[in-house]
Structure 1
Amino acid sequence: MPKTDRLFRLLHLIRGLTPPVTAARLAASMEVSERTIYRDIDALRAAGARIEGEAGLGYTMTEDPALPPQTFSQLEIEALVLGLSEVQQRGDTGLADAAADALVKIIATLSERQQRQAAHAINMVHRMHDPSVPPVDMSVLREAAWAEEAVDIVYVDRQMRESARRIFPLGISYLEHTVMVLAWCCLREDFRMFIAAHIRSATRTRQSFRPRRVPLLRDYIARLEARAPYTGPIKPVD
């Protein structure tokens, strides 16, 4: 791992682990020697990070130069904790991990008083049943939507009929009990909502649909809103 990446990783661990965090724990998490941890902490201190502690006692981050200070009201802190906790509950592994990392970074920018408020937030997310995890790698669909690149999918509809489709992924919608992929279906030449749990495979192509994603998504949302209060797909996937 390049030294710069290692230092960012070390900062993230010191922010997120319960202080004081020992060099042994940091070394085990990063799969490096304790001597490397000591050198890297010296490098972070030289760069302006205020890290208290020493070998044998553990380390605590008191000021982080990598993140600007933030000011939130207590209600805003509650909203951030609640929202990111919901993503951790509902999202796929990649999205859930990103939400956890984002919360650690946000909390690291808060004052000591606000960090205590975040640690003891009264709003929380709990589900009696874990949401179903789509069999498809959702990162493929996310990254294709970001890149405005077509995706070839194998899809099983409600009648258990399997078909191959090329779609333009426009967005991902997290409904109460399922995850839907909003897309333009090249086979039907129309908008469709695909149930993520019914997508058996997804493969990115090199076909770009840039810059069509934004106007397509805008038209799709407008059509959905025109059909309100009906919340089902514009048309069944066929």
Structure 2
Amino acid sequence: MPRTDRLFRLLQALRVLPAPVTAARLADETGVSLRSLYRDIDSLRAAGAHIEGERGYGYRLVEDGALPPQMFDRIEIEALVLGLSEVAHMGDPALAKAAAAVLGKVAATLPDAGQQHLLHAVSQVRRFETRFAPSPATPVIRQGCWREEAVTIRYTDSDDRSTDRTIWPLAIVYLDRRLVVLAWCCLREAHRMFRVDRIAAAELEGTSYRPKRVGLLRDYLALLKRGPSVAPKA
């Protein structure tokens, strides 16, 4: 691993892991020896990161020189914690990991008082079950949206009929009780809404629809504003 990437990974570990973090844990996270880990800590300190701690005690990132300082008032911090906690409980492992990473980065840019407010936020989310069951189709569809690339899916409709479709995924929408994909269906040549729990398989096709995505999504959202009775379903 290039040294720059290793230092970035170490910095991210210091942002995310509960402090103080032992040298052994940091070495395990970055895949280096303890001797290399100590040298990397010194390098980050020389670059401007304020890292408290020492060998045998553990380390804590007090001030992150790689990120500009952030100023949030207390209610804004509460909103951040609440929103990211909700994301962590949605049932998507990738989003849960990303939410923890974002919270760690935000904490690293706050002054000491802000960090204390974040650690002791009164707004919490506790769910006894995830809102949406994890689906192997979700990461593929997300990549399709990001890349603006067609996705081939095996879909079972409300009449229990299974079909293979090629779709242009436009957005992933988290409704109250289900996860859906807003898309252009190449089979029907029309906007369609697909339930993710009914997608048995999904695969990137490799065909780009990039010139059309913005306009298609804008038209679809305008259609949805007219009410659920006109919302197109698969």
The residue type paired with residue 138 of structure 1 is: T
User: What is the correspondence of 1:16-165 to structure 2 with a 5 Å cutoff?
Assistant: 16-165=16-165
Q: Specify the code of the residue in structure 2 equivalent to 1:223.
A: L
Q: Return the alpha-carbon distance in structure 1 between the equivalents of residues 230 and 69 of structure 2.
A: 43
Structure 2: where are the runs of 5+ without partners?
Answer: none
Q: What amino acid does structure 2 have at the position aligned with 1:145?
A: C
Amino acid at match of 1:93: P
CA distance in 1, matches of 2:149, 2:17: 38
Please state whether the residue corresponding to 1:226 is helix, strand or coil.
Answer: coil
Greater shift after overlay, 141-150 or 14-23?
14-23
User: TM-score with structure 2 length normalisation?
Assistant: 0.94
Q: How many residues align?
A: 234
- Displacement after TM superposition at 1:106 (Å): 0.7
Identity, % of aligned positions: 53
Q: In the TM superposition, what is the alpha-carbon distance from 1:43 to its structure 2 partner?
A: 1.3
CA positional deviation for 1:91: 4.7
Shift, 1:7, TM fit:
0.7
Could you tell me whether the CA contact under 8 Å between 2:20 and 2:57 is conserved in 1? yes
Gaps of 5+ in 1: none
Change (3 A) 1:91 1:30: same
| Deviation string, structure 1 residues 101-131 (Cα, Å, up to 9, x no partner) | 1111011111111111111111111223322
**Cα separation, 1, equivalents of 2:13 and 2:136:** 30
Query: CA 1:233–1:4 in 2, change beyond 3 Å: closer, same or farther?
Result: farther
My pick for the range that moved more, 30-39 or 195-204, is 30-39
Residue identity matched to 1:36: S
Amino acid at match of 1:15: R
Cα pair 1:192 1:233 within 8 Å, conserved: no
How far apart are residue 165 of structure 1 and its match?
0.2
The residue aligned with 1:187 is 187
Q: CA RMSD in A?
A: 1.5
**Letter of the 1:60 counterpart:** R
Report the TM-score when normalising by structure 1.
Answer: 0.93
